[in-house]
Structure 1
Amino acid sequence: MANAKYYEGKERMPRLIYFRSIGRALIITVILMLIIAAIITYTSVSDSVMPLITSVIMVISIAYSGLLSATKIRKHGLMHGFITGAIYIMLLLFLSWVLARDFSINRFTIIKAIMGVISGGVGGMIGVNLK
């Protein structure tokens, strides 16, 4: 019985770590997006750079999320980073589906999703190797 409780508690811990790290990454994403929106609004920067900037912000945020989760778990950084990246991407896709009227999944969406999962894995590998 004691082993079952230990195993059950160990299974729940990564989920909490995943959601905390994704929450922090989403906060960073929102802050960076607000900064970029202010820069585009109050300067002569073109709106055409927005897709590139959003992709870079997404990759940085997901890598940070993977780094945070792997730093806490301390093993299997690539796997935990991939999982964190996949959850982040699924959350973004769901929010886009709910909030955007013209949302559709196309090849650019799939490429961004793959980039997100890979950046989570890279962040996880870096996070597990930090001391």
Structure 2
Amino acid sequence: MGRHYSNDLRERVAAAVLSGRSCREVAALFSVSPASAVKWSQRLRETGSAAAKPQGRRPPRALAPHLSWILARLDEKPDLTMRALALELGARGVATSEVSVWRLVRDARLSFKKNAVRRRARSSRRGAQTPVLEEASGKTGA
């Protein structure tokens, strides 16, 4: 990927285009592409600046204003599913999906562990071991 052009170059190219020169002529003069000259001059006309748009910022989650309510609800009832939270948000007038709720919960660094009562998270060594076949039938070897 190429390097960014300086704002000074962008301003000079855009000003040259707006002064009446053609985009192709200005592009050849400043050694930039004609498309760049067109875009920079359009941006200068629309916004007053030919500077590059900011990059790299992710917009905040749509459910961010409801984060405190969601976290309070999960503290109140920790075994709520994402579907149940999405439905409760829908009842509050917030149209959302389970995935959106899950992303917000994940961003809050909450995780859901498996239920210890059902022993799903434990290793098989902790439970009673199954008897060996010979011991179960009462026979010994030979």
TM-score range, shorter chain: under 0.3
- More helix, by proportion: 1
- TM-score (normalizing by structure 2): 0.25
Radius of gyration: which is bigger? 2
- TM-score (normalizing by structure 1): 0.27
